Amino acid sequence: MRNENNFLPADFRRGTDPAAYGDAFGAFKTYFATGIDGIFSDNCDTAVLARDAFLAGRKG
């Protein structure tokens, strides 16, 4: 996983600049919802924040 549009699935890209950040949180949420137990990311800070947000949303 990376934050840039060029590396995200089409549904999570924002705008037309391939180097701009897309909706990485949305992509992470979709992956976490599948029940996977691991993910590789070049943007570890985003991955941790997205995981924490996902887990907090599940507790509600």
Phi-psi region of 39 (alpha: psi -120 to 50; beta: other; left: phi over 0): beta
pLDDT score of 15: 97
| Per-residue pLDDT at 37 | 86
**pLDDT tens sequence across 5-30:** 999 999 999 999 999 999 999 999 99
Q: What is the structure's pLDDT at 11?
A: 97
Closest CA to 13 of 25, 3, 22, 2: 22
* pLDDT exceeds cutoff 70 at 45: yes
Question: Which of 3, 5, 10, 57 lies closest to 28 in space, CA to CA?
Answer: 3
Buried b / exposed e along 30-41 (16+ C-beta atoms within 10 A): ebbeeeeeeeeb
Q: Is the pLDDT of residue 59 over 80?
A: no
Q: What is the pTM of this model?
A: 0.86
In the chain, the largest separation of any two C-alpha atoms, in whole Å, equals 36
